[in-house]
């Protein structure tokens, strides 16, 4: 072999040489079945090859949102504990879902997880359960993104997705879960081509979510009040606190729920208008809804003829139309 031939052979060898990363990727590709078997035997939680794996394929519903020019609308329900905010948030989610099948996400940011039960959700995992395995350690951003996407995939329900925050991390600060939820909203739910059309949030009772700024991503805040003095005062406290922490919410609404006294209804209406809020009126007494709640049945079992459904349908139209005006 001549010197010239040896040089040409070396050049050819160098051109076909693959870097280490490419060699590893090809090796894994050829041995996928073996790798999966090893992971299964070690009880690793994996997404099978025939399942959706890319973040943008978490749900088909998200693809609908990517085709729209409008931004995600985040609607939160707040108020004193026991006023019916979870029931009304569930009813609003159902009515929006029945309108034109948008991409919907229901979020329960109340540690006392009730939203999934009222919705009749099946087989879901909470955000706090997801991060439990990282307790005491560092949570890598890339790993969190993968786990968060998997969480939404696991929590797919019929017609909507679900994201419950879950219980607090034992005694002490609840900030890390709140911060993760806020970060997840900003990075994975509100931004990108596959964001949701509507996000319905069942906020924790009282004003803690306002004071910690965990409601800063809301476009609309619906405050639910019953006829108790403490509940009416909560409207004032939420307004005062939101002003103090400078949370920018497009619309703040007030709904009177289970209020029979006309005098109290007038007081709630006057207070809302005085504070610059939009009063959406009362939810009428509804024996069917009351029985439904008592029996622990899903809000989807409530008939469309029920007084609460009819009234909430009117209220939903007002909230949605106000949101569209803000976008314009």
Q: Is 160 helix (H, G, I), strand (E, B) or coil?
A: coil
323 against 82, higher pLDDT: 82
> Model confidence over 130-175: pLDDT tens digits?
877 766 666 666 777 778 888 888 899 999 999 988 875 554 445 5
CA 55 to centroid of chain Cα atoms: 16
**Structure token pair of residue 151:** 């969480």
Q: Which of 241, 227, 199, 215 is nearest to 104 (CA)?
A: 199
The answer to whether 85 and 226 have CB atoms below 8 angstroms apart is no
Distance CA 110, CA 266 (A): 30
Q: Which of 269, 328, 249 is nearest to 69 (CA)?
A: 328
Q: Which of 97, 91, 54 is nearest to 292 (CA)?
A: 91
CA 216 to centroid of chain Cα atoms: 14
Distance CA 231, CA 223 (A): 10
270: left (phi over 0), alpha (psi -120 to 50) or beta: alpha
**Structure token pair of residue 194:** 């596959």
Q: Contacts for 312-315 with beta carbons within 8 Å, 24 or more apart?
A: 312/88, 312/91, 312/92, 312/95, 312/283, 313/95, 315/92, 315/255, 315/280, 315/281
**Structure token pair of residue 222:** 């619906």
DSSP string covering 187-201 = IIISSSTT--SEEEE
Distance CA 225, CA 223 (A): 7
The number of residues in the chain equals 328
> Model confidence over 6-36: pLDDT tens digits?
555 444 444 445 666 566 666 766 677 676 6
**Domain assignments of the chain as residue spans, ordered by start:** 3-41, 58-327
CA 261 to centroid of chain Cα atoms: 35
> With bands split at pLDDT 50, 70 and 90, how would you rate the model's confidence at 218?
confident
Please, what is the average pLDDT of the chain?
78
8 against 202, higher pLDDT: 202
The answer to whether 104 and 196 have CB atoms below 8 angstroms apart is yes
For the cut 50, the answer to whether the pLDDT of residue 38 exceeds it is yes
**Based on the number of CB atoms within 10 Å of its own CB, is 134 exposed (0-12), middle (13-18) or buried (19 or more)?**
middle
What pLDDT shows up at residue 21? 59
CA dihedral angle for residue 78, residue 82, residue 83, residue 88, rounded to 10 degrees: 70
Lowest mean pLDDT among 142-146, 154-158, 278-282, 290-294: 142-146
Q: What residue spans of the chain are helical by DSSP H?
A: 3-15, 20-30, 32-41, 60-66, 85-100, 115-119, 127-131, 141-154, 175-184, 208-211, 229-244, 262-274, 287-295, 307-327
What pLDDT shows up at residue 5? 55
For the cut 90, the answer to whether the pLDDT of residue 179 exceeds it is no
What pLDDT shows up at residue 57? 46
For the cut 60, the answer to whether the pLDDT of residue 53 exceeds it is no
| pLDDT above 90 coverage of the chain, percent | 41
Residues with Cβ within 8 Å of 132's Cβ and at least 6 positions away in sequence, in order, are none
Which one is the CATH code of 58-327: 3.30.450.20, 3.30.1300.10, 3.40.50.300, 3.40.50.880?
A: 3.40.50.300
């Amino acid at each position: 072999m001549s010197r010239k031939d040896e040089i040409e052979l070396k050049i050819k060898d160098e051109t076909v040489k693959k870097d280490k990363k490419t060699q590893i990727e090809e090796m894994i590709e050829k041995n996928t079945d073996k790798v999966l078997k090893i992971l299964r035997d070690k009880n690793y939680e994996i997404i099978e090859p025939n399942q959706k794996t890319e973040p943008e394929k978490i749900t088909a519903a998200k693809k609908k949102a990517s085709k729209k020019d409008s931004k995600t609308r985040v609607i939160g329900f707040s108020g004193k504990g026991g006023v019916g905010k979870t029931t009304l948030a569930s009813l609003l989610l159902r009515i929006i879902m029945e309108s034109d099948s948008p991409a919907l996400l229901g979020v329960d940011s109340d540690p006392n997880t009730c939203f999934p039960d009222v919705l009749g959700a099946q087989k879901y995992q909470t955000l706090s359960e997801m991060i439990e395995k990282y307790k005491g350690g560092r949570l890598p951003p890339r790993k969190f993104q993968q786990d968060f996407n998997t969480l939404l995939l696991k929590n797919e329900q019929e017609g909507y997705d679900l994201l419950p925050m879950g219980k607090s991390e034992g005694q002490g600060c609840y900030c890390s879960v709140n911060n993760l939820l806020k970060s997840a909203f900003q990075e994975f739910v509100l931004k990108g081509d596959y964001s949701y059309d509507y996000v319905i949030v069942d906020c924790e009772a009282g004003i803690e979510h306002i004071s910690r700024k965990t409601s800063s991503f809301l476009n609309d805040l619906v405050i639910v009040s019953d006829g108790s003095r403490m509940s009416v005062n909560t409207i004032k406290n939420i307004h005062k606190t939101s002003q103090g922490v400078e949370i920018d919410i497009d619309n703040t609404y007030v709904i009177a729920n289970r209020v029979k006294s006309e005098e109290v209804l007038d007081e709630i209406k006057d207070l809302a208008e005085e504070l610059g809020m939009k009063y959406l009126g009362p939810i009428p007494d509804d024996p069917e809804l009351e029985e439904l709640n008592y029996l622990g049945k899903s809000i989807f079992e409530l008939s469309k003829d029920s007084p609460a459904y009819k009234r909430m349908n009117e209220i939903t139209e007002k909230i949605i139309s106000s949101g569209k005006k803000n976008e314009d």
